[in-house]
């Protein structure tokens, strides 16, 4: 079983324009609305891949009811804690050249009682064979060590955790030993404390160090440079697939979904690598934060090139 946790969901509003003119008039060519937030995006992609998950976290107001309805229509089970206020709307401005400007709202403030209710629900789902996906930002009222606390809570019940976070939340959560992590290159460079572009050797060295902290699998997404997958006895790098990109929004979430799906279906290392690369590449061809179709993922899996590294 997979449980995705989205503490700060959103309605993702993607507007397409020719060229963004700061301080001037911008005419919109097209608008797309999606139920979003990292964990929700992961649940949508898992569903498209043929798997299942339970989506949880916090929802509020009319936007929250819209998200709940979208998930239900997609056949995705949800179990959110309802709070006061309004779930945020995040606006992504996509230009013809592929550049994306994001305008993210803060979302509702969470009370200690509401957080306790969510933690109780997570603990109720936890057990052997259950994978929790902790992904994305946190709303006001919750401390940055929340992912660390959740990982320790879930590990006590025998569950596994896939973490997709950045900055202080990523750093603190590592102390609890998440089982799978998916940093991108920039997030790993920030963790390394460097102000230059890390080489593959640098990234591999850091990934190995993270394995030493109790992490089982490190997947590093590197944009146009592809991705790196590191676990004990398996160290590979894959060039990016050649697809017609519409927007890079959601590519990382699709890779997280593929990692979770592969864990749940007990995919081997090579198949996991292939589906991660294919799902991520497929996601950049879609509009907004919509998941790639399974048929496209299957097609792209055959094009994945896996190169051994570290020898």
Q: What's the confidence (pLDDT) of residue 311?
A: 61
Do you know the residue count of the chain?
311
In sequence order, which residues have a C-beta less than 8 Å from that of residue 134 and are 6 or more positions away?
A: 5, 39, 147, 150, 151, 161, 162, 163, 164, 165, 173, 178
Q: Which of 49, 32, 44, 3 is nearest to 278 (CA)?
A: 49
pTM surpassing 0.85?
yes
Residues 215/178, Cβ–Cβ less than 8 Å: yes
Residue 237 has, within 13 A of its CA and on its CB side, a CA count of 15
Which domains are present in the chain?
2-308 (3.40.1190.20)
Q: Is the pLDDT of residue 107 over 90?
A: no
What is the pLDDT confidence band of residue 99, given thresholds at 50, 70 and 90? confident
Among the residue ranges 42-46, 54-58, 251-255, 272-276, the one predicted with the least confidence is: 251-255
Tokens representing 202 are: 């640098």
Tokens representing 201 are: 């050797």
Mean pLDDT of 61-65: 94
Q: What percent of the chain has pLDDT over 70?
A: 97
> Whole-angstrom Cα distance, residue 203 to residue 263?
23
Tokens representing 140 are: 């006001």
The mean pLDDT value of the chain amounts to 90
- Catalytic residue selected from 253, 264, 269, 298: 253
Residues 211/232, Cβ–Cβ less than 8 Å: yes
Mean pLDDT of 268-294: 89
Residues 198/225, Cβ–Cβ less than 8 Å: no
Q: What's the confidence (pLDDT) of residue 7?
A: 94
Q: What is the pLDDT of residues 201-233, one digit of tens each?
A: 888 888 898 888 889 999 999 888 899 999 998
Residues 39/71, Cβ–Cβ less than 8 Å: no
Residues 65/40, Cβ–Cβ less than 8 Å: no
Q: Which of 38, 75, 307 is nearest to 162 (CA)?
A: 38
Q: What is the DSSP string of 1-52?
A: -EEEEESS-EEEEEEEESS--TTS----SEEEEEEESHHHHHHHHHHHHT--
Confirm whether 253 is a catalytic residue. Answer: yes
């Amino acid at each position: 079983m997979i449980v995705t946790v989205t503490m700060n969901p959103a309605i993702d509003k993607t507007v397409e324009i020719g060229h963004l003119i700061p301080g001037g008039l911008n005419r919109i060519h097209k608008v797309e609305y999606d139920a979003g937030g990292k964990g929700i995006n992961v649940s949508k992609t898992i569903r498209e891949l043929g798997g299942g998950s339970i989506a949880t976290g916090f929802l509020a107001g009319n936007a929250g009811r819209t998200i709940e309805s979208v998930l239900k229509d997609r056949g995705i089970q949800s179990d959110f804690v309802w709070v006061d206020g309004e779930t945020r709307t995040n606006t992504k401005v996509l230009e013809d050249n592929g550049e994306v400007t994001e305008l993210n709202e803060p979302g509702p403030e969470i009370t200690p009682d509401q957080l306790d209710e969510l933690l109780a629900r997570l603990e109720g789902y936890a057990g052997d064979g259950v994978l929790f996906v902790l992904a994305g930002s946190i709303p006001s009222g919750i401390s940055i060590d929340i992912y660390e606390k959740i990982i320790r809570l879930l590990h006590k019940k025998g569950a596994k955790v896939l973490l997709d976070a950045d900055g202080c939340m990523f750093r603190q959560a590592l102390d609890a030993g998440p089982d799978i992590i998916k940093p991108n290159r920039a997030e790993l460079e920030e963790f390394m404390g460097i102000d230059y572009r890390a080489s593959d050797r640098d990234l591999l060295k850091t990934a190995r160090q993270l394995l030493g902290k109790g992490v089982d699998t490190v997947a590093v997404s590197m944009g146009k440079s592809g991705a790196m997958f590191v676990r004990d006895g398996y160290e590979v790098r894959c060039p990016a697939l050649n697809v017609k990109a519409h927007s890079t929004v959601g590519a990382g979430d699709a890779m997280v979904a593929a990692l979770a799906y592969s864990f749940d279906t007990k995919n081997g290392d090579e198949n996991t690598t292939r589906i991660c690369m294919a799902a991520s590449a497929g996601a950049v061809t879609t509009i907004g934060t919509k998941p790639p179709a399974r048929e496209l993922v299957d097609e792209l899996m055959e094009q994945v090139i896996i190169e051994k590294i570290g020898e």
